[in-house]
Amino acid sequence: MGTVITVTSGKGGVGKSTISANLAVGLADAGHRVIAVDFDIGLRNLDMILGLENRIVYDVIDVMEEKCRLPQAMIHDKFSKNLFFLPASQTKDKTILDKGKVFKLITQLKEDFDYIIVDSPAGIESGFEHAILGADMALIISTPEVSSVRDADRVIGIIDAKSHKAQAGEEVEKHVIINRLKPELVEKGDMLAIQDVTNILALPLIGVVPDDERVISSTNLGEPVIRKKDTISGRAFKNIVQRLLGKDVEFLNLSPENRFMAIIKRWFT
């Protein structure tokens, strides 16, 4: 029976799809059977980050409406035999989805895969409800900015109300990922520190991803940064993958001088 990990946030544009893609790739490269499902209906994105946008024939709505069989819609990753991808639909009205169909799909995927990474839409509307419905674990993404932290707090407050697992009396495991941290700004007192965010959200931290230009270039290429050697964000993602697998990994030292040294080192290697 697979584990469903829903990647979510309150605010949009905080990096959910990028994180979903990287964690899916990381878990697959660690030898697990993984499927990444884009649940951001109407706003397909995960396909480009994974570099699989040219292979889409059917999408997740087609599967749920039984216009095709599940394996027909699943797209195989270019590099990993363990990784599959199920795209969001681009055009259809998201209100046609119903909870029964969503839950049926998730249950089906749990039988075939070790990890199901669900990329949730932002916000707390129906799309979010569908994405969180079958979750065993929720990763809440926030950048260290007030609007993002505030909206993350709202989402955390309603996860248990919307998930099947919580309604059955169990708890959805919740963890926070802080994305796009700028250690230099934190140092200057112009950005919320890691501790500030975790104190406010009152949830365990599973990863901190520093702001890294290589994430942008990787997305440009459709090659998740976790597969790039010597990137600080790639290392951060690898660490999160290890923690998801239950290993106790130390957090990266992101203090400004350390990053500076890392950049210098990269020039000489």
Give the interface with other proteins as residue ranges (CB under 8 A).
145-146, 149-150, 153-154, 157-158, 161-162, 186, 188-193, 196, 200
- Exposed e or buried b for every residue in 240-254, given b needs 16+ CB within 10 A? bbebbeeeeeeebeb
Nearer to other proteins, 185 or 249 (CB): 185
Nearer to other proteins, 69 or 188 (CB): 188
> For residue 194, what are the contacts with CB-CB under 8 A and spacing of at least 6?
144, 178, 181, 186, 205, 208
d(CA 95, CA 48): 24
Residue 5 sits at the vertex; the CA angle it makes with 209 and 247, to the nearest 5 degrees, is: 60
Nearer to other proteins, 94 or 162 (CB): 162
Q: What is the gyration radius of the CA atoms in the chain, in angstroms?
A: 18
Q: Which alpha helices (DSSP H) does 113-231 contain, by range?
A: 126-133, 146-162, 164-167, 183-188, 194-201, 213-221
CB of 160 to other proteins, least distance (A): 8
CB of 13 to other proteins, least distance (A): 18
CB of 255 to other proteins, least distance (A): 16
Q: Which amino acid is at 53?
A: E
Nearer to other proteins, 65 or 170 (CB): 170
CB of 189 to other proteins, least distance (A): 3
At 234, which helix (H) or strand (E)? Answer: helix 232-244
Residue 210 backbone phi and psi in degrees, to 5: -70, 155
Nearer to other proteins, 69 or 154 (CB): 154
Q: Identify the DSSP state of 227.
A: G
CB of 68 to other proteins, least distance (A): 34
CB of 53 to other proteins, least distance (A): 36
Nearer to other proteins, 48 or 158 (CB): 158
